[in-house]
Chain A
Amino acid sequence: MLDRPVLPTVTLTVNGTDRMVAADPFASLADTLREGLGLTGTKIGCDAGDCGACTVLMDGAQVCACLVATAQAEGRAITTIEAEDPLVDRLRAAFLAAGAAQCGICTPGMIMAAADLLAHKAAPTRREIEDGIGGVLCRCTGYIKIVEAIEAVARGANAFAPVAEAGAAVGARIARADGLPKVQGTDRFGADFAPEGALWMRAVRSPHARARFTLGDLSAVKAAHPGLEAILTAADIPGANSFGIFPTIKDQPVLAPGLVRYRGEAILALVGTREAVEGLADAALPITWEVEPALIGVDAALAEGVTPLHANIPDNVLTRGYLETGDIAEGHRLGTATAEGRFRTGFVEHAYIEPEAGYAVRTKAISSEAGTGSREEIAWDDSSDRIEVTACTQAAVMDQEEVARVVGVSMAQVRIIPTACGGGFGGKLDVSIQPLIAVAAWLTRKPVRIVYSRTESMASTTKRHPSQIQARMSADAAGRFTAYEMTGDFNTGAYASWGPTVANRVPVHATGPYKVPHVRNATRAVHTNEVPAGAFRGFGVPQAALAGETLIDDLAERLGIDRWAIRRINAIDHGDRTPTGQILYASAGLPQCLDSVKADYDRLMAGAAAHNAMGGRTARGVGVACMWYGCGNTSMSNPSKMRITLARDGRLTFLNGAVDIGQGSSTVLLQIAADALGLPTAAFDFIVGDTDRTPDAGKTSASRQTFVSGNAAKLAGRDLRAKILALANAGPSARLALDGHRLTVEDGEASRVIDLSVLASEADIVLAGEGEYDPPTTALDAKGQGIPYATYGFAAQVAEVEVDRLLGTVKVTRILAAHDVGRAINPTLTEGQIHGGIAQGLGLALMEEYLPGRTENLHDYLIPTAGDMPEITIHLIEDTEPEGPFGAKGVGEPALVATAPAILGAIRHAVGVRMTEVPVLPHRLWAAMQGREAAE
């Protein structure tokens, strides 16, 4: 077989221009646009028609460019996001202003679908808009703001987001600071660029969940395929062949050394030309498998006498979490009613639309400009070479540590340059491609790129932990909770990843945001031969909330108390004590959240009663659930550092190490920094996440960036401001204005101009402000007592559903979401987080279940589409957090937690069945309804 076939030339008419390109006629149009013509605005999320990210117009009609043969596109008019077109321009502006692009990976496809719709139907109804974009998936926005943006264009409304004046950025709905390239299709994600001539990599993965393997003669394979540069195995890893989140648990190999522990684990890496690595079949490789019985599910892993996954963990229990306060037996004795139940959830996939991608380059420590000798001389001593990894990530510095470890170099020799990140939700906190491409680039001394396929991404990267929870809860006659007790087993899969975090976070949060005097919560994270479970929006708390909120509904029913009322009676408030013994002195706005939804809750309850009295095909129901979520790492130092510099020429740069995964941290932190400094946001340039340039802000997880990095940004702004004021001898209320290198400081009558260009400084940077913040927490003792988090987010959500009594299908018609966010730094972005969280909560409740080998694509793994979203009403409660920047705390994860339990409560209200397993697929609900009928 030829490794590099001669490709025929085709002429494609793209955006009105004829372009000649050499391409395989069977290559998809999406691939040819991207790799052949460099038009990377068209994204590939699945390569199978399932996500719509590749949507382009062909003769004016939307099509998936991944399903069109390049030969078929010849002679047709192709329109992509790169088009210059007035309608596309108006959509771009509207998307930007409405906050319709979060991570932005779906945005080009969405805009093209919307352009098709509006070109054919100038004034579409909401339903028609949903039909028009129904073939494009978005995992971030819940589609709400996308639909609003399209409606705005249809109305002919002028789209503009406010521009904040100096000192007025916090609280303003400014457009995303990184939004323009997202709506233009020019933002660069992991798969969008690589150095000229970069080699490609493909990982060969185990089709077996547990097996041993031996490799035959790989050099013969290499010799037979001249396009192959290397076939890497475990033996080639120059440093340690292991990585993992916790410094003490580096248990996951980069390439498995003869033993695989889950289906999808990488065993080999092919490096070479694209044709060579993609064209070589796994079956052509000399791999001999010896399949072993796999431990699937927690029960199998905990059974007596099984062979453990890891020799050092004989019982397969990775970690235990525990919390105890009061006397649990006494608590149950004090109760008038006790409820209990067993609950089950499955693996949930993050389903970010951007599969992992990026490239790595080995570089010289000495820059070539230094000119200290000829090339050969520099190459001679390469012990100080560096490795640069440009990839999508949520945690640049953690990637830096892992790469240094596997390549066997110092941290200083590793540079991580985050690309735009097309969604993360926790799934890009762990390294995936980084160690693989870093090792390959290091060994081959050539740039190496990789793009995971959708299935590879789903099969090999982390998931939400499946859970089995058993819980018991009591309340007295007045409805006051007296006891909560739970044990939970979390399936952490083959490797540890974030398993310990889940095991520790759940006991703290499992009671929900309520006053409960007697509590005992115990969790285990258990290894199985399944895909590693790691971090996913909520770290186990959404699973635990399903159990707790269901038991609260049980107690309400038994005690004859309204479901809203019982939550209000027990809602944690200022001055109350949490089960860890922490007193919440401030910013505990759950009572306000509940109060804000009360009138609507009553109205929906009355509406449901009226609807059901008619006895039709559908039953309507209303549910309510609350949640809380600690911002930042559990009882661990998790500092963030931010820096703002002012250059001689007046360039103001915000050096922000916090990766924006679409949630908007680049914008929110900028708003905070700008107001702290006293200059408008528009005055800033920004650099995000480059480990060579930005200080460590910690990872984008645990809803910590607004709160933790926000504080650091505020301190950095204040620091720079203090230095400027000192220079101008001005008072604290002075006003700043920056015009080129002239910085004006106006203090009442007095005004002083600082000429930055003449300030004494060795470097280009003449002034700099720095801020560092680490939230105050204390360690938890053996009984889980202490101060695990500095602050908590709270929410109450109400769901209204309609259930088809015969088919068991559920349509969520409405969600009311009241969230205490401390302060909404940018309400548009805050709402976007809540919408997106609700969409994921809805998916968790009704349709999402990852089954290895069976739902490992976006065809069979269902996430909500535009037509599945309810009407959402948001109440932003701002119970100021004195410890937070301008009173703010996090919202990223809190958005998701309450939705699924509220939906389950609504289903139960509608049809009287108490679902204890999610997703509530139609057949499961139907079976439960049948069971109930049989019992009656």
Chain B
Amino acid sequence: MQYFRPTSLADALAIKADHDVTILAGGTDVYPVRTARRAWGDPAHRPVLDITAIPGLRGITEEPGGWRFGALTTWSDLAAAGLPPLFDGYRRAAREVGGLQVQNLGTLAGNLVTASPAGDGIPNLMALDAVVEVAGKGGTRTLPVQAFSTGYRSTALAADEIVTALIVPKLHGARSTFLKLGARKYLVISIAMVAAIVVTNEAGTITAVRIAVGACSAVAQRLTALEAALLGQPLGQAAGLVTAGHLADLAPIDDVRASAAYRLAAAESLVRDALTDLAATAARRAA
């Protein structure tokens, strides 16, 4: 089996264009998949394109247009970074992905590309209105995360492309939270999760709000009806405005972790909890 470890993006793109390779970043999805296949007698593996030796792909930088998260930025990098409250939710997710060992290896881009319905990063990126920067043989393009994540374990990434960064536009005065529900404390895959971001004016009225729910549909979803309903409402009363109808577009499934009905009800509770959380931090800040 071939193993490529290029030291420039150009080389990596050339390899990607020529070979059917598996990109390897933190390996926290690639290795478990390999192990699961091997366990039932399937040892074959595509050639590997290890992108971790490419300089400049790791790290968080503030740019005029927004915050740039290099594709190799790890969960631990995110958790440790000094970022505005807009990122409190995403950072909370960073501390709840797997355990520390996984957070130290796993990358933000890898989580997005894996495109698991239970990927903790994805609802956060949706709430953050993140843009995915991808490079391919034709150059670099960007696309909104909603357009990037196309379905159950599928993305809009073309065969010759590599994700180079996630870019999050600034949102002045925003606060955020993330709530994850699982059946144990650490090393647990979400049964349901919610990422929420709000901006309020001085009167405490919601002037911007974005809420996304994960693990309740093939791809995480923004609750646009709810967002519209909350706009212009006092944050302190937002939790009380949530109705089941606001979650009607979700399509959770029954699996070993939970029933569909439960997921929906839990998501509704989590959305209220997230709004209550945000109202409480707002009140604390005001005090």
Give residues 177-213 of B contacting A (CB, 8 Å): 181, 183-189, 191
Knowing A48-B31, A49-B98, A135-B99, say if A855 contacts B183 (CB, 8 Å): no
Query: Does A181 sit within 8 A of B, measured CB to CB?
Result: no
Query: Does B27 sit within 8 A of A, measured CB to CB?
Result: yes
Query: Does A26 sit within 8 A of B, measured CB to CB?
Result: yes
For the complex, give the distance between the alpha carbons of A808 and B188 in Å. 17
Interface-centre pick from B42, B98, B181 (highest chain A CB count, 10 A): B98
For the complex, give the distance between the alpha carbons of A136 and B249 in Å. 38
For the complex, give the distance between the alpha carbons of A5 and B199 in Å. 59
Query: Does B248 sit within 8 A of A, measured CB to CB?
Result: no
Knowing A63-B105, A67-B28, A67-B105, say if A135 contacts B186 (CB, 8 Å): yes
Query: Which A residues are CB-close (under 8 A) to B36?
Result: 48, 455, 857
B102, B184, B266: the one contacting A926 at CB < 8 Å is: B266
Are A61 and B185 closer than 8 Å at their CB atoms?
no
What number of residue pairs across chains A and B have CB atoms under 8 A from each other? 181
Knowing A67-B28, A136-B99, A922-B262, say if A282 contacts B40 (CB, 8 Å): yes
Query: Does B38 sit within 8 A of A, measured CB to CB?
Result: yes
B27 to chain A, nearest CB (A): 5
Query: Which B residues are CB-close (under 8 A) to A61?
Result: 76, 100, 104
Knowing A49-B28, A807-B181, say if A113 contacts B100 (CB, 8 Å): yes
A26, A46, A135, A809: the one contacting B45 at CB < 8 Å is: A26
For the complex, give the distance between the alpha carbons of A379 and B238 in Å. 85
For the complex, give the distance between the alpha carbons of A860 and B257 in Å. 8
Are A26 and B258 closer than 8 Å at their CB atoms?
no
B102, B186, B266, B269: the one contacting A67 at CB < 8 Å is: B102
Are A62 and B100 closer than 8 Å at their CB atoms?
yes
Query: Which B residues are CB-close (under 8 A) to A282?
Result: 40-42
Query: Does A204 sit within 8 A of B, measured CB to CB?
Result: yes
Query: Which A residues are CB-close (under 8 A) to B65?
Result: none
For the complex, give the distance between the alpha carbons of A860 and B191 in Å. 12
Contact flags B78-118 to A (C-beta < 8 A → 1, else 0): 00000000000000000100111110110000000000000
In the complex formed, the residue of A with least CB distance to B269 is A806
For the complex, give the distance between the alpha carbons of A696 and B189 in Å. 46
Query: Does A847 sit within 8 A of B, measured CB to CB?
Result: yes
Query: Does B170 sit within 8 A of A, measured CB to CB?
Result: no
In the complex formed, the residue of B with least CB distance to A132 is B100
B48, B100, B187, B191: the one contacting A116 at CB < 8 Å is: B100
Are B35 and A48 closer than 8 Å at their CB atoms?
yes
Are B104 and A62 closer than 8 Å at their CB atoms?
yes
Interface-centre pick from A136, A204, A862 (highest chain B CB count, 10 A): A862
A52, A807, A808, A866: the one contacting B101 at CB < 8 Å is: A52
B23 to chain A, nearest CB (A): 12
In the complex formed, the residue of B with least CB distance to A923 is B262
Are B3 and A207 closer than 8 Å at their CB atoms?
no
Query: Which B residues are CB-close (under 8 A) to A761?
Result: none
Are B28 and A279 closer than 8 Å at their CB atoms?
no
Contact flags B24-55 to A (C-beta < 8 A → 1, else 0): 10111001100110111111110010101000
Knowing A25-B5, A26-B1, A283-B41, say if A923 contacts B259 (CB, 8 Å): yes
For the complex, give the distance between the alpha carbons of A26 and B32 in Å. 13
B1, B101, B184, B262: the one contacting A868 at CB < 8 Å is: B184
Give residues 60-107 of A contacting B (CB, 8 Å): 61-64, 66-69, 71-72
In the complex formed, the residue of B with least CB distance to A134 is B186
In the complex formed, the residue of B with least CB distance to A263 is B40
Are B184 and A867 closer than 8 Å at their CB atoms?
yes
A148 to chain B, nearest CB (A): 18
Query: Does A131 sit within 8 A of B, measured CB to CB?
Result: yes
Contact flags B246-272 to A (C-beta < 8 A → 1, else 0): 000000000011110111011001100
Query: Which B residues are CB-close (under 8 A) to A926?
Result: 262, 265-266
B151 to chain A, nearest CB (A): 22
Query: Does A398 sit within 8 A of B, measured CB to CB?
Result: no
For the complex, give the distance between the alpha carbons of A62 and B98 in Å. 13
Query: Which A residues are CB-close (under 8 A) to B76?
Result: 61
A456, A862, A867, A923: the one contacting B258 at CB < 8 Å is: A923
Knowing A25-B3, A280-B43, A456-B39, say if A135 contacts B32 (CB, 8 Å): no
Query: Which B residues are CB-close (under 8 A) to A69?
Result: 3, 24, 27, 48, 50
Are B256 and A922 closer than 8 Å at their CB atoms?
no
Query: Which A residues are CB-close (under 8 A) to B52?
Result: 72
B100 to chain A, nearest CB (A): 5
Knowing A857-B36, A859-B189, say if A281 contacts B44 (CB, 8 Å): yes
Are A455 and B185 closer than 8 Å at their CB atoms?
no
Query: Which A residues are CB-close (under 8 A) to B261?
Result: 923, 927
Query: Which A residues are CB-close (under 8 A) to B100?
Result: 61-62, 113, 116, 131-132, 134-135
Query: Which B residues are CB-close (under 8 A) to A809?
Result: 181, 183
Interface-centre pick from A67, A116, A137, A205 (highest chain B CB count, 10 A): A67
Knowing A50-B187, A68-B27, A456-B39, say if A134 contacts B5 (CB, 8 Å): no
A849, A866, A921: the one contacting B186 at CB < 8 Å is: A866
Additional A-B contact list (18), CB under 8 Å, known A72-B52, A809-B181: A24-B1, A26-B48, A48-B31, A71-B5, A113-B101, A134-B187, A135-B100, A278-B43, A282-B41, A283-B42, A454-B35, A456-B39, A807-B270, A859-B189, A865-B185, A866-B185, A922-B183, A922-B191
Closest 8 CB pairs of A and B: A135-B99, A282-B41, A867-B185, A134-B186, A455-B39, A923-B262, A48-B32, A923-B258
**Cβ contacts A to B, 21 pairs, < 8 Å:** A26-B45, A52-B101, A61-B104, A62-B104, A66-B35, A67-B26, A134-B186, A135-B186, A207-B40, A281-B42, A453-B39, A455-B36, A847-B183, A855-B256, A860-B189, A862-B188, A865-B185, A865-B186, A921-B183, A922-B262, A923-B258
